Amino acid sequence: MVEIDFITAFGRLLCDGSLRDAFTGDPQAVARQINLCRNDWPAFLRLLPEDLEFQARILLRKRQELVRQLLPETVRRLGEKFWPLFLEYSRVNWPAGQRAALQDAFAFCRRLKQQQPQLVSGSEWNRLQFALSEKHLAIHWLLRETIRGKTHPLLQIFLRGRLTRWRELSFHIGL
């Protein structure tokens, strides 16, 4: 296993709640586990668990805001449960890459669908699936979708051109 430096170790601690928990219990064991370079041990061992958790929460709140923008109806349905559920999910799940916010929202919704499927907006779920796919066309019919607090049938059509840009056409029946 290749040794890692302090900055890499610090980043891992911020991104992984279970690693932060382990660090709180035994920082030296974590330093060994992640194969931290011996020269960086003194600085690593001086890190304060409560400061790490505080900094990690700031990053998690930023992620939460991105997910909130992608899932407004689902967040509305969750109400006050949104932050605790997102915190539980995000402490151990950290997406990476260009489309990290989409992946984050998708993984959070997938987890919600396993626990409380009625709280996930079907139209938002369809949108995330299409956005992360390479499909050029998708059509979804939802018999009961809540829009602005009212439930109506919804037809969603997703189109992707030659580039990665895509569009959504939604037809709300009865609005």
Lookup result for tokens 């899932």? 71
- 143 CB-contact burial (10 Å; exposed 0-12 / middle 13-18 / buried 19+): exposed
The predicted model scores a pTM of 0.85
The predicted-structure confidence for 34-62, as pLDDT tens digits, reads as follows 999 999 999 999 999 999 999 999 999 99
Q: What average pLDDT does range 170-175 have in this prediction?
A: 76
Give the amino acid at 73. Answer: E
Check pLDDT > 90 for residue 5: yes
The average confidence (pLDDT) of the chain is 92
More confidently predicted of 151 and 58: 58
pLDDT of residue 175: 54
